[in-house]
Structure 1
């Protein structure tokens, strides 16, 4: 190798003296560009967290709904990371068109595999827009499980149940099922307790006892202005109504309002306990299903429908019913049976009688 060729190779691998020239020389290595791209992505993640903290209160005051505010802040964070990723891709030699094409192809492939997740995200947008419940609301699912809404995302709704367990339900499922919201608009909740009393008891006394028993419970609204639901108004004080006349007694329905929906089972149990205690000394009995079996003087008589393969006419004093003709009855006695010709035939140990 000549001296001129060796000098050229040495000049290509040796860093220049100036700072700017040195940076340009260093930028020529692919590994350096990859490291810088990684640092930009990390910086984008850190910047996204900073922006969420910076604009968190402003967004919360603007939207006033915690679920929507969290979604907006989440989109801000994701957008910051995406921008940082595009910048990092351009540094390593990927153009915006290449990145968009790669993301499109990748999204199309994942769209087929992750279609349920995409559906949950779309339904999550509708949940946030329709606002059937909000974070902190107490809801009840159609299977009877109750709890407080802990978080609402684009993919799922997280519920903290009354059993102190977390229930995560996809938003696609939440939009298809019936959800009862106890905390929407007004936390006051009306409950109803049925009671079946006997017909022989004092009906008015039973109604007064049930109303008084509910008023003596702390969580129950004793009275006050009527509570409005839509265009209708309902009494705030406990009210006992006659629901129906049942087979075993009169069915009463006690309707009352609770201040909050958070202790419904305990309130119902306390009201039932007070009713039981107050009914003990009153002329009121709780009815229960029962039947009385009565036997008249004709019990034990056997009726014959067909004799000798043909239906017979009923004897004097008897009529045909809707089911068809009835033959003469045979009087069953301990000593014998009278046959169709009027002869008496003995049964058991006696001799026949003419």
Structure 2
């Protein structure tokens, strides 16, 4: 037996039937490091396939990626321990030590790890989904890790969220299972405007844009009159945008607001502004039109008095928010980009 063999057979730990040698520890460490390296390579390969795949299959590939990497690491741990001289039956000896470790502070780590597994298998929150938390944080999920998930806002800010928060707290998933949602865009017009003309002009502008989905029996673009404001009629545009637009709420609302303003300008429909009516009951013994003539004034309509006669049609202006919606995004599953208001 050579000196190297004697060195490898050097006993480090002997307890009952357990005999841990230096050579076994080195072998186990090599096996474990090999498993870690293999898990990283497999995860990198599957990530490359996922990034080139469609959003429909990206979630399944992410699940496969995590299962493969976790499985290889666990297999490496088991084989490494066996190579070090600890057979599977001897692992029960370490259960007490693991329990003590959990009692001293590993509960949180295990909790987040288990929560991450639930997130991966449950699929109510998946990679690429655009979510909103109770505290108002909104963004696309780009990674679900063993301890925390990473959310990227539309301002390219990465927010690390513990996995348990996505399970225990209320989470609004705006794009669950790749679906869209209806949005409400408020706007107002001056009193006296033709309501039918307002509706037709705004609907035509909304339907003509590529980030508005084609209408169906259950998903139609609409204009509602929702109230009588202090200076004008309050309306809302109800529209079903594309999924890409839903994931860019700030740009989406800005784009539709700009479109509405352009549509009202081209139709010559006045946007309201604050105004106050002053009624003079008697001036030097005269009332009404007679009192105005005494003052050298003339009765005018509310619109003319404000100096806002019906405006001529104007050409559409440059809508930067709409250009932002139509620009391609480079997110992980076609799911990220700019920030909410």
TM category, shorter? 0.5 to 0.7
Give the equivalent residue in structure 1 for 2:100. 108
The answer to whether 1:279 aligns with 2:269 is no
* Inter-CA distance 258–155: structure 2 relative to 1 (3 Å threshold): same
Cα separation, 1, equivalents of 2:89 and 2:103 = 20
For the pair shown, the structure with the greater C-alpha radius of gyration is 1
Cα separation, 2, equivalents of 1:120 and 1:51 = 21
Cα shift readout 1:145-169 (whole Å, capped 9, x = no counterpart): 4332211134221122222232110
Cα separation, 1, equivalents of 2:208 and 2:173 = 27
Residue 232 of structure 2: which of 224, 235, 249 is its match? Answer: 249
The Cα of 1:81 is off from its aligned counterpart by 2.4
Cα separation, 1, equivalents of 2:199 and 2:240 = 17
The answer to whether 1:138 aligns with 2:133 is no
The answer to whether 1:43 aligns with 2:38 is no
Question: Please, which moves more after superposition, 35-44 or 193-202?
Answer: 35-44
Cα separation, 2, equivalents of 1:54 and 1:172 = 27
Matched-pair contact (CA < 8 Å) for 1:157–1:170: yes
Cα separation, 2, equivalents of 1:173 and 1:181 = 14
Matches for 1:148-159 after TM superposition, within 5 Å: 148-159=140-151
The Cα of 1:192 is off from its aligned counterpart by 1.7
Matches for 1:129-208 after TM superposition, within 5 Å: 129-208=121-200
Cα shift readout 1:290-330 (whole Å, capped 9, x = no counterpart): 55465767xxxxxxxxxxxxxxxxxxxxxxxxxxxxxxxxx
Cα shift readout 1:39-73 (whole Å, capped 9, x = no counterpart): 2321233145447867987xx9x997234323322
Give the equivalent residue in structure 1 for 2:21. 33
Give the equivalent residue in structure 1 for 2:250. 265
The Cα of 1:193 is off from its aligned counterpart by 0.9
Residue 209 of structure 2: which of 212, 217, 241 is its match? Answer: 217
Number of aligned residue pairs: give it: 264
Question: Please, which moves more after superposition, 251-260 or 26-35?
Answer: 26-35
TM-score (norm 2): 0.64
The Cα of 1:34 is off from its aligned counterpart by 0.5
* Inter-CA distance 294–105: structure 2 relative to 1 (3 Å threshold): farther
Cα separation, 1, equivalents of 2:58 and 2:142 = 18
Matched-pair contact (CA < 8 Å) for 1:111–1:118: no
The Cα of 1:254 is off from its aligned counterpart by 0.7
Matched-pair contact (CA < 8 Å) for 1:214–1:271: yes
Matched-pair contact (CA < 8 Å) for 1:52–1:77: no
Q: How large is the RMSD of aligned CA atoms in angstroms?
A: 3.7
* Inter-CA distance 245–100: structure 2 relative to 1 (3 Å threshold): same
Cα separation, 1, equivalents of 2:134 and 2:98 = 38
- What is the SS of the residue equivalent to 1:114? helix
The answer to whether 1:70 aligns with 2:65 is yes
- What is the SS of the residue equivalent to 1:192? strand
- What is the SS of the residue equivalent to 2:239? strand
Cα shift readout 1:9-42 (whole Å, capped 9, x = no counterpart): xxxxxx59xxxxx998676544793034212321
Uncovered stretches (5+) of structure 1, i.e. residues with no partner: 1-14, 17-21, 227-232, 298-354
TM-score (norm 1): 0.62
- What is the SS of the residue equivalent to 2:124? coil
Cα separation, 2, equivalents of 1:26 and 1:280 = 88
Matched-pair contact (CA < 8 Å) for 2:63–2:120: yes
Uncovered stretches (5+) of structure 2, i.e. residues with no partner: 13-19, 51-56, 283-341
